[in-house]
Chains A and B, each alone.
Chain A
Amino acid sequence: GNSVTQMEGPVTLSEEAFLTINCTYTATGYPSLFWYVQYPGEGLQLLLKATKADDKGSNKGFEATYRKETTSFHLEKGSVQVSDSAVYFCALKPGNQFYFGTGTSLTVIP
């Protein structure tokens, strides 16, 4: 079946710290992989995506590489800011339907 396992939070970091949020998946076929971000009180926004193995998605300083051999899509950022505080969802899309992880809450303190 299709599922996403995401690092549990909450995660609290100081400004300018390095961020990693782990995400692994199981899937049939060759899914596209996504990271969505949800800021407080808002809906989900696409942060980045990768559609095939070894692709690297990047946006706003965040990066994630589609690793088929380890079935992973870990999210990283070299230096987080207070404005990055949000909930991050890893997701896969093998067909038309999305499968989401449970979300990781990130709080960045000054």
Chain B
Amino acid sequence: GAVVSQHPSRVICKSGTSVKIECRSLDFQATTMFWYRQFPKQSLMLMATSNEGSKATYEQGVEKDKFLINHASLTLSTLTVTSAHPEDSSFYICSAPGRGSMNTEAFFGQGTRLTVV
């Protein structure tokens, strides 16, 4: 089946620095990718929709300048957490929608555990 690879799986950074998270579709092209954030004991909250070749669409309440999304190719989307603070510590997950016979599904990356100290 389709595979989405997310990297890194864990990252610890100092407050004020920036962190880049990569999401790759390994065996298919993804014109759209979704970025979610998961707080402890809560569900996934959609942050933004990444569109290849155009600007990302952010959900209400998500700071565009803080969470920079770049979808530079059909297989790669990146999320950069800029000037990270401890409250940004969370689990971030990307996903790509399936195509063709799997168009009702989504394929998720392994997630990135970000800890800001």
Determine if B43 and A98 form an interchain contact, defined as CB atoms under 8 angstroms apart: no
Considering the complex, which residues of chain B in the window 71-95 have a beta carbon less than 8 Å from any beta carbon of chain A? 93, 95
Q: B interface, how many residues as a size bin?
A: 20 to 34
Tell me the smallest distance from the CB of B68 to a CB of chain A, in Å.
Answer: 21
Determine if A42 and B111 form an interchain contact, defined as CB atoms under 8 angstroms apart: yes
Tell me the smallest distance from the CB of A52 to a CB of chain B, in Å.
Answer: 10
Which of the 9-residue segments A14-22, A43-51, A59-67, A75-83 touches chain B? A43-51
CB 8 Å contact bits of B87-114 with A (1 = contact, 0 = none): 0000001010100000011101111010
Q: Which of B34, B104, B108, B110 contacts A49 (CB 8 A)?
A: B104
Residues of A near B95 (CB, < 8 A) are: 44, 98
CB 8 Å contact bits of A16-40 with B (1 = contact, 0 = none): 0000000000000000101010000
- Of B44, B46, B95, B104, the most chain A CB neighbours within 10 A belong to B44
Tell me the smallest distance from the CB of B2 to a CB of chain A, in Å.
Answer: 11
CB 8 Å contact bits of B30-73 with A (1 = contact, 0 = none): 00101000000111101001000000000000000000000000
B6 interfacial by beta-carbon distance below 8 Å: yes
The distance in angstroms between the C-alpha atoms of A44 and B105, with both chains bound, is: 12
A/B pair count, beta carbons within 8 Å: 47
The distance in angstroms between the C-alpha atoms of A36 and B46, with both chains bound, is: 16
Look across to chain A and name the residue whose beta carbon is closest to the beta carbon of B98.
A46
B interface, CB within 8 angstroms of A: 6, 32, 34, 41-44, 46, 49, 93, 95, 97, 104-106, 108-111, 113
| For the complex of A and B, 10 pairs with smallest distance between CB atoms | A43-B111, A43-B110, A44-B108, A100-B43, A102-B43, A32-B104, A43-B108, A100-B44, A43-B109, A103-B43
A interface, CB within 8 angstroms of B: 32, 34, 36, 41-46, 49, 51, 89, 93, 96-98, 100-103, 105
- Report 8 cross-chain contacts, Cβ distance below 8 Å, ordered by A residue: A42-B110, A43-B110, A51-B104, A89-B43, A93-B104, A98-B34, A100-B43, A103-B43
